[in-house]
Amino acid sequence: MSTDTVAYIQENEFDTLLTQEKVLVVDFTATWCGPCRLVSPLMDQLAEEYKDRVKVVKVDVDNNKPIFKRFGLRSIPAVLIFKDGELAEKIVGVSPYEQFTTAVEKLV
């Protein structure tokens, strides 16, 4: 049973969310990725802390390679933060929670 509070989305949902959400945080992840498991609880925490202002979602790169390639990503974990549909921040690799909150704070 997964305790993730952040939903996984598919490619078709991604474009819809980009147009709907003011600030969208996308965690590119995969089940086999060890470092991704370290980022996952941080995304859950971020989603909880900013639940009224920011939408946080996850994308499984194995099932959604086109989105992954669209943003020129080559490694995961990668967290992309969009504001009004535009890519505003890209954080690749395992980062401290503060790096995510600082990036989000600039946009909300």
CB 106 within 8 A of CB 90: no
Task: List the CATH number of the domain containing 81.
Answer: 3.40.30.10
Residues 6+ apart with CB under 8 A from 98: none
Concerning whether 5 is annotated as a catalytic residue, the answer is no
When divided into structural domains, the chain yields a total of: 1
Q: For residue 71, is it within any domain? A: yes
* pLDDT recorded at residue 2: 43
Q: For residue 52, is it within any domain? A: yes
* pLDDT recorded at residue 5: 73
Concerning whether 100 is annotated as a catalytic residue, the answer is no
pLDDT (mean) for 44-57: 96
Q: For residue 1, is it within any domain? A: no
**Residue range 64-105, pLDDT digits in tens:** 999 989 999 999 999 999 999 999 999 999 999 999 999 999
Q: For residue 87, is it within any domain? A: yes
Q: What kind and span of H or E run contains 68?
A: helix 65-70
Full-model pTM? 0.93
Average pLDDT of the chain, as a whole number: 93
Residue with tokens 């600082």: 102
Catalytic residue among 33, 61, 91, 103: 33
Catalytic residue among 36, 39, 59, 91: 36
Domain that holds residue 62: 11-105
- For a pLDDT cut of 90, what percent of the chain falls above it? 92
- Count Cβ atoms below 10 Å from residue 54 Cβ, excluding itself: 19
